[in-house]
Structure formats: structure tokens, C-alpha cells
Amino acid sequence: MTTAPWRDPALTAAARVDDLLSRMTLEEKTAQLYGVWVGASADGDGVAPLQREMTAGSSAYDWDELITRGLGQLTRPFGTAPVDPALGAQALARAQRRIADAGRFGIPALAHEECLAGFTTWRATAYPVPLAWGASWDADLVEEMAGAIGRDLRAVGVHQGLAPVLDVVRDPRWGRVEETIGEDPYLVGTIGAAYVRGLESAGIVATLKHFAGYASSAGARNLAPVRAGVREFADITLPPFEFALREGGARSVMAAYTDTDGVPASADPGLLTELLREDWGFTGTVVADYFGVGFLQTQHRIAGSEAGAAHAALEAGLDVELPTVRCYGSPLIEAVRAGEVPESLIDRAARRVLLQKCELGLLDEDWNPEPAERIDLDSTQNRALARRLAEESVVLLDNPDGLLPLAPDTRIAVVGPRAADALAMLGCYSFPSHVLTHHPDVPMGIEVPTVLEALRTELPDAKVTFTEGCGVDDPDTGGFEEAVARTAEADVCVAVLGDRAGLFGRGTSGEGCDVTDLQLPGVQGALLDSLVATGVPVVLVLLTGRPYALGRWQGRLGAVVQAFFPGEEGGPAVAGVLSGRVNPSGRLPVSVPQVPGGQPWTYLQPPLGLAGEVSNLDPTPLYAFGHGRSYTEFAWEDFEGSAPGITTDGSYDLALTVRNTGDRAGAEVVQLYLHDPVASVTRPDVRLIGYRRLELDPGESRRVTFRFHAELSAFTDRKGRRIVEPGDLELRLATSSADTRHTARLLLTGPVRELGPTRRLRCETEVS
């Protein structure tokens, strides 16, 4: 029996796919370009934008007939409804056998799932959300977590993960802030690339989203038009994607829903082909965000038909329609037959899809869909990882009089709507928040201790009382009286306030849960006022998906602890900080504002974006980007730089010694910022260009060296070129964007240098 060339593993993937394509009909090639979402409902509340409208009628296909042509993707076989992981893996294997047996070539589908804060399926570990990854400033730990997520996906037969989100926060009122890593492109890029490395190391195709500009939507409204300028787009929006492609090796990119200056990302050849493929050299697949191709017709209205939407997307370079067949099905085939769409566009996209399937082993004769024998998606090892990341991500914002850690035998009044609710730990892309709300009779499937439960465990000798006080976002103040009474009887009040994650207005944080300002949801602010008025010291604990304005309580609180949806082990992590078992080491990935209005604002502002006499509004944050306190103290000593000046293609070393001068182990995050006093276009007053997290025992010191290269000062000029410009620079070693400890001034000399796509992205560090 002769093996067809496309089955021969001795040949290159390109040769195999070229042979296969030559044998396929138009229908078979097109079938590789769409997914099918089995079990997606057109009734009730959905998990994707306009799901009800976009899935109506899409289930009219005949499954048995459809798969005779083959199938590109299976959409969320585990993440659509609760399914036992072992049974689900067996069901997926059976479905893959059916798909392979039905087609002429025996090619299975590529199965994808959401995995933003863990595998979004029943009984899988719910890790901290990406904003908490940013708060940890620990790329190595994030990479380790992503590797564990990837291995769980592989164990059940999934090939592609729809993560990470690399959007840079531009307006914290946006609902999806919890899904982002922070407001700085360098932090987002380095942490995001680490996640990609971890996921890809397990053999899972990482999917970068949302490419590009999604978080810059006008008015912080989900899917609203993007009005970012070319330099903002180039210098803030795009760098994290460069990091994740070059350093992480991501094999897929998801086109954003939004349009920038009138051009939807899903139909933008300048973005999806010229920049991504021609300039950056990307060779993987571009997939649609759910219904993104159809939205070109129904929402953006740049196409008059489903075939027109398919043509626009394919021509731009969008290869795969997700989540289910609509525009890339019969309408596209008919348009090709009628000569309205070139078949070469089908061939181009199908070749990319099949190359990826070849890399994954799905074209091999010995392909086997059988799952792992033992499947445990919430293992002891997973939970230990979730605990470590949760503990590292908790940020101690303030502790002015040393109220924390709490005394072990104190009287504690725990108050607040987030104290005794397990869902307070979880973001909108966790399975319990994302899917289980539609299945109220199904148990959560994982153990998620609350802050109240964990605090009682941490401090068994303390007398702990609890009352909710109010709901998350309802206007009822009827519980205030009891909350005040319990607080008055206590030595300290722990007020646990924050968000409820949800989708499309069903929460206070999450996709489609945008807000008009940054005041605490509902009447939680009024509840906090009532607690503070008792005169009993109040520790504010925030479990949120975005920063909220806290200036109203400045100087009135005993301590402030911030946790961004810290996952299933978040309760013990927060309680550990309160008890002192955990020395807090998190640093803010987003600024915390003084007042709820006057937004949008992030720390990346040029001079006119800062406080000044030209406006009565002061945007200075209460707590700056990078801020965070510890229960120990650190001395920054022996600062030195290697030279007072370098050329525009030169490098410069800065070094200092960090010493733990306290009596307990802790972690310090040394941050390097760039200040460009004069440039040919306005520049952010400061911007992060490097950082290093140092874990130190009492009395221990480590020396950290930052190897700055002039290319890290590059920016986009008026002609759209990325350049290094001669002139004065300041390099600031700091504990936050607002707290500089040491400054090195240097002069760049030589010509203006234009940089290409291989420019340096990272400031390397060395610790001795």
C-alpha cells in the first residue's frame, strides 16, 4: 500500500500540505476554514456578543452531511455546558473519529477552548485573572501556570487555547480590564509572552487577542470604535503582540471586534497581512473573534451580504471563521462559483490551516484522539500554583500605622458582600462565572474558600463575626445598621468589597460590563462610610476586576488590600496577608485613581496629560502604577552606571544592591523607567522599560544590573518610522512610576536610527 505524499512524515509540512490541497475540492478546502459550535444556544443569555441573533438559524446544517467535507474546528466542546472531564474527553475522541471517518482524507478537527484564567471547563482549576498576573510581576510563575493549563488542555484532546489577552488598559471603566495584564505595554508584553511560552511548551496553539486596539474603544464601551492615533497604536497597542510572537512563539492571532478610524480589524489587510505577516513574519493562523466575520455585515455594515463579509475577511488575511459556520460556508462557496471571490483566497487560508494541523500531527496516519488515562483538571499541583500566584498578586496599598498583620486573638467584624461568596474570587472567564450561571442546579465543581472561611482558618483564636451589609450592586441599605453594630463591638473591621464578574451587564466587571465612572458598585461606598464613622479601625479588602477610586477614604482607613479576582486559592491568599503568614509582594499593574470622574487616565501621559494649571481636574492617581507595600523594608544601595553617554546604537549598564533590612523574608520589585526630556513628538513623561522581582531573606542582599540599550528609547516619529533619536535621557530606578530612588542621566549621540521589526524589545537583567 502506497502512502500518499501528504501522509508522509518524512516530507516537509509545506510539501505535504501542497499535495493535499491539490487533491481537495472547493467544498473540502472551505470546510477547513470554519468551526462548528455544537450545543450553542440561541435562547436566553449568551456567552458571546449577540449570540442569540448570530446563532439563529445556524444550527440548520445537517451534521452528518456537513462533516463529509471535513471540518476546520470544534468550538468549545468542554466550555459550552458542564461536562465531566473524563466523559467529555471520551466524547470528543468519538466526535473526532466520526469527523475523520466521514471525510475523504480522514482529517480531524482542531478543538479550541477558552483558557484565560485556567481551562474554562467544569472542575478545572480557576487561576487568578490576568490583571493579577500583572500584579505579581512574576513572568516565570505565569509561564509555569500556563504550562500546567496547556497540559490539562492536551490531556482531554484540545489543541488551541484562546489566550492570552494582550490589550493594554487605556480606560479602566472598560469591562474587560480584568482580562488584561495592565496599563503598560512592557509589563503586558513580558508577562504575556511568558504565558504564551508556557502554553506552547505543552503543545497548545496560543491565540493572541485582541488584534488590535480593542481596549482603546471610545468611552470604554465594549466594541465601540477605536480612535487611537498612529503613534499610540504603534507604541502602546502593538508592542505586547510583538513580544508574544517573537519571544513566545504564538501560532495564532485573533482579530479584534473593533474598527480603527473606520476600518474593522477583521477586514484590515494593513493589519492582518502587511504588518502581521509581511513585516513581522507571522506564519500561523488568524482566527475571528466569535461572530467577527458576520459582524462585518450586521454591525460594521461594510458588507451587504454574508458572502461579502467572507470576501472582505479572507482578503484581509482572516483564515478561520469562529465560532460556527455562517459566512465561510455556503455563501462563500456560491460566491466563488459565481466568480465573485477568487478561489486563491480559499487556497491561501486553507494552506495555513492545514500547515498548523500538520504541525499538530493531525495529518499523520498514526493520529490517535484517545485522551489521557487519568484526567484531573484541579490537581494538587494546580492548586499549589494557583495559591502561589494568588499570594504574589495581592497588593498592600496602604498600612500607615501598622494595623496589619492582625493580632491573632483580636475581635474582627467581617463586613461586606464579597466576604462570604466564593464567586467573589473568580473572573468572568472562569467556568462558574461564565457558564454555570446558566446551570444553577450544577455544583461549582471546585473548592473555592471565601475570605471569611479562610480568615477563620488563619486566625482560629480570633472572635470573628460576619454580616453582609449590602449587595454588590443593589441600592438596598437595610443591612447597614447591623454592619455598624457588629463593627462597633469589634477591635477591627475587615470590609470585603468589590465586583461580581459577569457578561454583558450581568455583572459589575467582565465582558460587556462597562461603567460610567470608577466609584465602588452599588451602595458599597456608603457602607464603607458607615463603617469608618464608627471609629473602629477599618481594613478595606477589595476583590475587583478593575481599580476603583479611593480618594474619598484617603487617611481614614487602617489599611487597604487590593486583590484582582485571585482565583480559587484567593481566599487563603488574602487571609494570609491579613494574618501575616504571607508578606505581600504584589505591585499595581494599573493606577488607582483619586476620584471616580476625570477619566480616562493611565500613567502613560505626556506633559499635557498630567496635573497642571491648564485644567481644574487633577488626574494624579492615589496609588501609582507599580506601587505596593511590604511587611519588611528594603534598602537600595551602591547605585552605579557604566558611562555618562552612549551612541544611538550603544548600551548602558545600571546596577544597584537591594538589601532586606527587616526581620522577615519579602520580595521587592525594582522598576526601570525612561524619561525623555525633549523629543520630536510628545512622549509619556515616564514609561516602564525594565523590572526585576527579587525575593530576599532577612538581611540578604542581591545586586541587580539592568542592561539598557538605546533601542529601548525608540518611538514612532511623524513619518511613522520607529526611531532612536539623539539627545538627553533619564533612566530612573523606582519602586513605582511616581517614586524614583536613583536617576542616571545620559546623552545619546550620533545619527537618528530607524529600527526594523527585529529591534530590541527587552531590557535584560542580571542578578548576582
C-alpha cell at 178: 480584568
Give the HSE-up count for residue 761: Cα atoms under 13 Å, Cβ half-sphere.
Answer: 23
Q: What are 155-191's pLDDT values in tens digits? A: 999 999 999 999 999 999 999 999 999 999 999 999 9
pLDDT band at 2 (very low <50, low <70, confident <90, very high): low
Specify the pLDDT at position 214: 96
Whether the CB-CB separation of 412 and 489 falls below 8 Å is answered with: no
Give the HSE-up count for residue 234: Cα atoms under 13 Å, Cβ half-sphere.
Answer: 19
Whether the CB-CB separation of 419 and 467 falls below 8 Å is answered with: no
Q: How far is residue 38 from each of residues 111, 393, 530, 544, 662, measured CA to CA in Å?
A: 12, 37, 50, 33, 57
For 561, the 3-state DSSP assignment is strand
**E strands present in 87-234:** 110-114, 160-162, 205-211
Amino acid making up residue 678: V
- Give 378-412 as a DSSP string: T-HHHHHHHHHHHHHH-EEEE-TT--PSPPTT-EE
Whether the CB-CB separation of 162 and 113 falls below 8 Å is answered with: yes
Give the closest residue to 429 by CA, choosing from 42, 49, 52, 119: 119
Specify the pLDDT at position 56: 65
Q: Is the pLDDT of residue 744 over 60?
A: yes
% of the chain residues with pLDDT over 90: 93
Burial class (CB in 10 A: 0-12, 13-18, 19+), 355: buried
- Section 740-756 average pLDDT: 96
- Give dist(CA 101, CA 67) in Å, integer: 9
C-alpha cell at 418: 464579597
pTM of this prediction? 0.97
- Section 303-309 average pLDDT: 96
Angle at which helix 524-532 crosses helix 480-488, to 10 degrees, equals 30
pLDDT band at 3 (very low <50, low <70, confident <90, very high): confident
Q: Is the pLDDT of residue 540 over 80?
A: yes
- Section 233-252 average pLDDT: 97
For 73, the 3-state DSSP assignment is strand
- Section 741-764 average pLDDT: 96
pLDDT band at 599 (very low <50, low <70, confident <90, very high): low
Q: Scanning the structure block, which residue is given the C-alpha cell 445537517?
A: 62
Q: Is the pLDDT of residue 198 over 70?
A: yes
Edge-to-edge strand list for the sheet holding 634-641? 634-641, 651-660, 701-709, 764-767
Give the closest residue to 730 by CA, choosing from 678, 663, 665, 655: 678
Whether the CB-CB separation of 580 and 405 falls below 8 Å is answered with: yes
Average pLDDT along the chain: 95
List phi, psi (to 5°) of 354. -70, -35
- Section 339-345 average pLDDT: 98
Whether the CB-CB separation of 145 and 136 falls below 8 Å is answered with: no
Specify the pLDDT at position 58: 53
Q: What are 16-64's pLDDT values in tens digits? A: 999 999 999 999 999 999 999 987 666 656 777 767 666 665 546 788 9
Q: What are 703-720's pLDDT values in tens digits? A: 999 999 999 999 999 999
Q: Is the pLDDT of residue 1 over 50?
A: no
- Give dist(CA 468, CA 470) in Å, integer: 6
Cis peptide leading into 5, omega within 30 of 0?
no
- Give the number of residues written for the chain: 768
Residue 691, beta-bridge partner list: 671
- Give dist(CA 215, CA 507) in Å, integer: 19
The DSSP secondary-structure symbol of 441 reads T
- Give dist(CA 764, CA 218) in Å, integer: 35
3-state secondary structure 334-366: HHHHCCCCCHHHHHHHHHHHHHHHHHCCCCCCC
The DSSP secondary-structure symbol of 286 reads E
Amino acid making up residue 663: D
Specify the pLDDT at position 180: 98
- Give dist(CA 359, CA 370) in Å, integer: 18
- Section 442-449 average pLDDT: 97
Burial class (CB in 10 A: 0-12, 13-18, 19+), 608: exposed
Q: How far is residue 372 from each of residues 9, 93, 152, 157, 369, measured CA to CA in Å?
A: 24, 11, 10, 8, 10
Cis peptide leading into 323, omega within 30 of 0?
yes
Cα 359 to chain centroid distance, Å, stands at 26
Angle at which helix 330-337 crosses helix 343-359, to 10 degrees, equals 130
Which one has a higher pLDDT value, 364 or 643?
364
- Give dist(CA 21, CA 13) in Å, integer: 12
- Give dist(CA 750, CA 719) in Å, integer: 20
